[in-house]
Amino acid sequence: MMWWRRETPEPVDLVAPYWQAHDSEMLSAGLGAIARRLPGLVGNAIAVAWRASRLDTATTLGLNVVAGFFTAFGLLATNDVLESLFAAGPTEQRVTAAIPALLLVAGAAGLRAGLMAVASWAQERLKPQVERLAETRLFRLTTRVELTAFDDEEFHNSMQRARDNGVPDSATVVEMTVNVLTGAIGVLSGAITLGLLHPALMPLLLVTAVPDGWAALRSARMRYAAFRRISTARRRKFMLSDLMAERPPAAEVRAFTLRRFLLAEYDRIADYEQRIELDVAWQRATTRVSGDLMGGVALGAVYAVLGAMLAFGLIPLAVVGTAVLAIRASQSSLTSLVQSVNKLYEAGLYFGDYLEFCELAERRVPPERTSAEPGEFRRIAADSVHFGYPGADSPALSGVSVAVERGEVVALVGENGSGKTTLAKLLAGLYTPDSGTIRWNAADITAIAGEVLRERISVIAQDHTRWPLTAEQNIVMGRERDDEKLAEAARAAGADEVVARLVHGYDTLLDRRFHGGHDLSGGQWQRIAIARAFYRDADLMIFDEPTSALDPRAEHALFERIREHAEGRTVVLISHRLSSVRYADRIYVLDRGKVVEQGTHPELMSLNGRYAQLYELQAAAYRAEQPSSA
């Protein structure tokens, strides 16, 4: 076996992942499968392009068709030129006779070039418009679907394929459709020209086209197969390059002396990628040589046929010259056509994923609710609520009943996985219970318009988003700025101290990846997030582990601020640190999706149940950390 053809074993960790769903279909598709799918792809592409820009779509397609007419006209005019030049008589007379036809050829070529330039410009304008249209539709759906959709693995994977491949391939589908039509028009122009010159010349075009088409299709398949084989390796290589060249991991790379390990891993993956690329380069080169050899034989046969037809007087010399020009021009168009068809089929598979996701997402969009305002907040209550996540073996909540009265501070406590966060999201209207009801005053919240309800609720999640925006935008979150409210919210959350240390104050961008950006610690981010909830000034405020990144002193100070600012407001508080919830008006203890205890801190301690056990465990740990008096 030659060194350049050696087999390249697939490293186990670099095998293409499951989401490359169309690899086998693409690699095994024959011309028949592609031909059957082509009309639907072309129809979808034109429909999308038409919605993106009618003018640019009509310009691109129309001018390509007209340019094809001028191609055929120019070839026929070329035949007239050759007839004049090959006619009998003095050279001066023949040249003079050819001038009108030469002017027609030049005019046709100039008009065709101008039309193609405008068509190309319109096509380039179409690409960003199509991609924006597809991306906008995707994000309009992803921001409207029910929250549980993101907990559904099938939905999430479908969305990833649509976003990562389907959206960019929507523009590719349109681009390749135009290229297919352009190539087909070029081939058709050559075929029509040959047919007008002599009907027997049309089959000759097919003879010369087959080798080039075969080589182009086979080479494209090889390139596609190689790309898919190394796509995972490339992602790993990009990941390693970030680890070796970005700021966040730089300290640990040095602290754990990871330089040699990372470079070795990089070399291993790069070697694998390079071996595949060298193998494919050789295979594609031999394919091109084979195609050129067969094309040369076919072209020789065509020239022989043309010579025989000329010798037997079936066609004049001028027609032979024009036929050669038409065949050569059509060969180029056919090669482009085959390559574009192959790319269109590939892009169409992923564009199909995009269309399927849009249909799936449409079904996951909650129905519009047209109820009136929920009214002044007095109470929110869950009654026998059951809820399970998609694909989960057991429900997250089972028969849960809780109530929160206006002005109360209610705490939800329990171990990890007990259902606290899920219950909070149900109270916030982010999830819909599978059974049971949640009522805002007397109204079932499923009957209240989602955005209307959520305008009355602030939710600060444990994994709150660190928005790459300014400090002000991170607190105001799209609402109109009110300096007095902003100052009060920041002061109540302790975020004013954070902002005071920033170079540009509230105008500081909180993302170090951008020029002038600044990063915050986990505790500082929590203060910003709590200020966000206070600025919203909602009827109901839900805090999920709002102090998990703070030290005990800072945590105590922040809870004092929350209690002061929340006076007269309604607060649902989730915390693992039971010392922080002991002053709540009511505490609900959850275990495995059920409320097992409820009451005030003294009441729960007197029960000597689960809450008391958890509290004593934490208290004992704190006492053990205190220095001895010796």
> What pLDDT was estimated at residue 19?
45
Q: Quote the CA–CA distance of 404 and 459 in Å, as a whole number.
A: 15
Q: What's the alpha-carbon Rg for the chain, to the nearest Å?
A: 35
> What pLDDT was estimated at residue 629?
42
- In a domain? residue 15: no
Indicate if 195 and 117 belong to the same structural domain: yes
506, 537, 568 — which closes off a domain? 537
Which span out of 290-304, 310-324, 351-365 was modeled with the highest average pLDDT?
Answer: 351-365
Indicate if 218 and 233 belong to the same structural domain: yes
- CATH number for the domain that contains residue 598: 3.40.50.300
Output the six-digit token pair for 142: 């992803």
- CATH number for the domain that contains residue 70: 1.20.1560.10
Interaxial angle between packed helices 317-364 and 153-161, expressed in degrees from 0 to 180 and rounded to the nearest 10: 150
Q: Quote the CA–CA distance of 83 and 33 in Å, as a whole number.
A: 45
CA 512 to chain centre: 24
- In a domain? residue 371: no
Indicate if 208 and 110 belong to the same structural domain: yes
Digit-coded pLDDT (tens) for 33-62: 666 777 887 888 888 899 999 999 999 989
For residue 28, is pLDDT > 60?
no
Q: How many structural domains are present in the chain?
A: 3
User: Buried b / exposed e across 335-373, counting CB within 10 Å, b at 16+?
Assistant: bbbbbbbbbbbbbbbbbbbbbebbebbeebeeeeeeeee
Indicate if 609 and 484 belong to the same structural domain: no
Digit-coded pLDDT (tens) for 99-150: 887 788 888 888 888 988 999 999 899 989 999 999 999 999 998 888 888 8
> What pLDDT was estimated at residue 6?
44
> What pLDDT was estimated at residue 630?
37
Query: Rounded to 5 degrees, what are φ and ψ at 124?
Result: -65, -35
344, 364, 384 — which closes off a domain? 364
- In a domain? residue 370: no
- Please give the full DSSP string across 29-94, using - where no structure is assigned: --HHHHHHHHHHHHHHHHHHHHHH-HHHHHHHHHHHHHHHHHHHHHHHHHHHHHHHHHSSS-HHHH
Partners of 571 in the β-ladder: 409, 541
The residue written with tokens 């602290």 in the block is 255
Digit-coded pLDDT (tens) for 402-429: 998 888 889 898 888 888 889 988 888 8
Which is more confidently placed, 522 or 402?
402
Pick from 539, 514, 532, 545: which is nearest to 414 by CA? 545
325, 343, 364 — which closes off a domain? 364
pLDDT grade, residue 20 (50/70/90)? low
Q: Which domain holds residue 72?
A: 3-10+25-364
Which is more confidently placed, 2 or 481?
481
Q: Quote the CA–CA distance of 457 and 426 in Å, as a whole number.
A: 12
- In a domain? residue 417: yes
Which is more confidently placed, 564 or 406?
406
Indicate if 385 and 488 belong to the same structural domain: no
- In a domain? residue 148: yes
Q: Mind spelling out the 3-state secondary structure of 579-598?
A: HHCCCCCEEEEEECCEEEEE
- In a domain? residue 369: no
Indicate if 354 and 495 belong to the same structural domain: no
Which is more confidently placed, 226 or 3?
226
Span 547-568, average pLDDT: 69
Indicate if 186 and 303 belong to the same structural domain: yes
Indicate if 544 and 469 belong to the same structural domain: no
> What pLDDT was estimated at residue 8?
47
